[in-house]
């Protein structure tokens, strides 16, 4: 830590941070466009101009090192005039189309224009007009809005490891465009739209879907893989529209991949809301009563899956199982990727596509035998009942009689119709809890959607089964009469 002065006030800041980040920690916002804490510094936008005592010319904050005794001024007349000039220059060709721009409401250009701009422009000539282009499988570029901050080019080269974009022409004719003939097709087109500080880069999948101020947002965690990227959920009319990255500088989390970001359809459509028995729609009392009756007569049961469930649900399920008085085995690892350290497919996405494998390991929701051994035992009929929590039965239990299988699912799948019993459960966004990512970080997520009335979580289902099973054992005669 070092001591610096900002506008005459002394602060203690982290010398390892960029001056913009260090000042923000001290509660002082320095406006910027091209700077990003994970990208190289280029000083292209000139928005972060400041005065440094002892240096006659204005300097860019993004390229100023934090050193002991540094004294800067962020609100002098010279600085204010310079920022006003920068904003006037950037807005010279920028169209005033905020009412139809998807970035409206979360646009740095809007924010800096209101805070640092003059409110009027001396530019009277006709603004340039370049046609919009599709440059990716899910990416559009509006050249007229681009302020040439170079963020997108740097992000691709430095984070994704590709060079699809480049800066072409000079001066008035400068544009960001494709450097190759092929359109962009990588896993970070959503991140490109995010990192653009204006509405120049936009995604097809979210284009004109909703205004940002209509969303209800909650802190969450991406359920797409074991990385566990922090997110904000964007919900409107109780439907998930998108995830946005929740920045955590301490844990080096800034971005989201497309596979996690746009995987929202399963939360909104094809949901399982009915109980099933033998492939036919049934009612909760029939299904849960029959399952409880089978548990009361069982010698051994298995619970497979659970790596999509929260730490809290896994703990509660184990507690319920331990009270049943039946031998049981649990195994959340159903794929080969879960039995080893997750491998990186790219800089964020991993081979383990479940958010809580590590949480299952830490909570003991795993067996010593492994899924292959459990499958062999199930084929031999060693389990009276097998519960499968949000996993594909046809893949992990091929050859096992369906009469012994109980599926707990969030969505209507083929397994729901083929299993003996199927039970609907809440999705993660209809609950609060935590996932433990591949590094062992326990990360909390808040409830962001309302579940339909009567829908239970996986933990609540097992709690109900525990209660019903114990009641059957305490009143065996009544159970016999009810089943006769």
Output the domain CATH number for residue 470.
Answer: 3.40.50.740
pLDDT at 480 over 80: no
In-domain check, residue 248: no
For residue 350, which of 225, 177, 204, 194 has the smallest C-alpha distance?
Answer: 225
- Token couple for 290: 């029959």
Which CA distances in Å does 314 have to 155, 162, 173?
38, 40, 58
What is the number of structural domains in the chain?
Answer: 2
Q: The dihedral of CA 282, 288, 293, 297: what is its sign?
A: positive
Residue at 340 is within a domain: yes
The boundaries of the domain holding residue 371 are 275-474
Could you say which of 32, 59, 75 is where a domain stops? 75
What region, left, alpha or beta, does residue 446 occupy, with left being phi > 0 and alpha being psi -120 to 50 degrees?
beta
Tell me which of 75, 102, 133 is where a domain ends: 75
Looking at residue 171, its pLDDT comes to 85
Residue 188 lies in a domain: no
Whether the per-residue pLDDT at 421 is higher than 70: the answer is yes
* Residue 120 domain-assigned (yes or no): no
Confidence category of residue 484, pLDDT binned at 50, 70, 90:
very low
**What pLDDT, on a 0 to 100 scale, did the predictor assign at position 438?**
97
C-alpha–C-alpha distance, residues 221 and 332, integer Å: 19
How long, in residues, is the chain? 484
Query: What is the predicted pLDDT for the residue at 404?
Result: 94
Mean local confidence (pLDDT), 52-57: 94
Q: What is the pLDDT of residues 432-476, one digit of tens each?
A: 999 999 999 999 999 999 999 999 999 999 999 999 999 998 886
Q: Which of 32, 54, 75 is the endpoint of a domain?
A: 75
Q: Quickly count helices (H) and strands (E) in the chain.
A: 15, 22
Rounded Cα gap, residues 388 and 463, in angstroms = 16
Averaged pLDDT of the chain: 94
Examine residue 195 and state whether it is found in any structural domain, yes or no: no
Q: Give yes or no for residue 482 having a pLDDT over 80.
A: no
**Predicted pLDDT at 477:** 59
Provide mean pLDDT across the span 181-208: 96
C-alpha to C-alpha distance for 50 and 239, rounded to whole angstroms: 44
Average pLDDT estimate for 374-383: 95
pLDDT tens per residue, range 204-221: 999 999 999 999 999 999
Average pLDDT over residues 264-271: 97
Share above pLDDT 90 across residues of the chain, in percent, rounded to a whole number: 92
Asked, for residue 294, whether it belongs to a domain, the answer is: yes
Which CATH number is 32's domain given?
3.10.20.740
Of 129, 131, 145, 147, which is closest to residue 200 (Cα–Cα)? 145
pLDDT tens digits, one per residue of 109-154: 999 999 999 878 888 888 889 999 999 999 999 999 999 999 999 9
Predicted TM-score (pTM) of the model is 0.92
Task: Say yes or no to pLDDT of 290 above 90.
Answer: yes
Has residue 261 been placed in a domain? no
Given this model, what pLDDT does residue 481 score?
43
- Asked if pLDDT for residue 201 goes beyond 70, the answer is yes
Give me the mean pLDDT over the 24-44 stretch: 95
Is residue 348 in a domain? Answer: yes
pLDDT of residue 393: 95
Distance CA 141, CA 164 (A): 13
Average pLDDT over residues 53-61: 95
- Please report which helix (H) or strand (E) contains residue 202, including its range: strand 201-202
- Flag whether pLDDT at 241 surpasses 60: yes
DSSP 141: E
Averaged over 275-302, what is the pLDDT? 96
Q: What is the mean pLDDT of residues 50-67?
A: 95
Residue 478, pLDDT > 60, answer no
């Amino acid at each position: 830590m070092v001591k610096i002065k900002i506008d005459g006030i002394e602060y203690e800041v982290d010398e390892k941070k960029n001056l913009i980040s260090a000042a923000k920690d001290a509660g002082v916002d320095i406006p910027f466009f091209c700077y990003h804490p994970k990208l190289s510094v280029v000083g292209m936008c000139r928005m972060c101009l400041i005065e440094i005592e002892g240096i006659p010319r204005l300097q860019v904050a993004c390229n100023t090192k934090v050193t002991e005794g540094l004294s800067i001024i962020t609100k002098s007349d010279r600085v204010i005039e310079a920022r006003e000039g920068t904003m006037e220059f950037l807005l010279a060709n920028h169209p005033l189309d905020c009412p139809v721009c998807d970035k409206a409401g979360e646009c740095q250009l809007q924010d800096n224009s209101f805070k640092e701009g003059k409110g009027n422009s001396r530019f009277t000539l006709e603004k340039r007009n370049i046609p919009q282009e599709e440059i990716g499988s899910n990416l559009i570029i509006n050249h007229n809005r681009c302020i040439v901050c170079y963020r997108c080019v740097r992000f691709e080269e430095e984070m994704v490891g590709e060079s699809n974009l480049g800066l072409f022409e000079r001066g008035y004719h400068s544009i960001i465009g494709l450097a190759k003939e092929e359109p962009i097709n990588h896993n970070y087109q959503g991140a490109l739209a995010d990192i653009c500080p204006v509405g120049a880069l936009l995604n097809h999948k979210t284009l004109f879907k909703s205004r940002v101020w209509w969303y209800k947002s909650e802190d969450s965690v991406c359920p797409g893989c074991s990385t566990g990227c922090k997110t904000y959920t964007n919900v409107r009319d109780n439907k998930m529209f998108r995830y946005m990255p929740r920045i955590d500088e301490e844990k080096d989390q800034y971005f989201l991949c497309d596979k996690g970001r746009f995987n929202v359809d399963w939360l909104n459509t094809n949901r399982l809301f009915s109980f099933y028995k033998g492939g036919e729609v049934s009612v909760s009392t029939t299904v849960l009563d029959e399952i409880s009756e089978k548990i009361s007569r069982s010698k051994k049961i298995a619970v497979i899956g659970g790596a999509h469930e929260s730490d809290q649900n896994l703990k509660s399920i184990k507690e319920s199982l331990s009270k049943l008085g039946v031998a049981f085995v649990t195994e959340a690892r159903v794929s080969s990727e879960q039995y080893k350290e997750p491998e990186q497919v790219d800089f964020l996405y991993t081979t383990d596509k479940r958010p809580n494998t590590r949480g299952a390991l830490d909570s003991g929701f795993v067996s010593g035998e492994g899924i292959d051994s459990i499958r062999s035992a199930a084929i031999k009929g060693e389990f009276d009942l097998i519960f499968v929590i949000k996993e594909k039965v046809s893949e992990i239990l091929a050859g096992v009689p369906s009469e012994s299988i109980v599926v707990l699912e969030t969505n209507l799948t083929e397994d729901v119709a083929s299993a003996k019993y199927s039970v609907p459960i809440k999705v993660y966004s209809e609950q609060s809890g935590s996932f433990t990512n591949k590094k062992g970080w326990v990360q909390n997520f808040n409830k962001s959607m309302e579940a339909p009335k009567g829908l239970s979580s996986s933990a609540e289902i097992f709690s109900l089964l525990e209660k019903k099973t114990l009641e059957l054992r305490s009143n065996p005669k009544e159970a016999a009469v009810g089943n006769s």
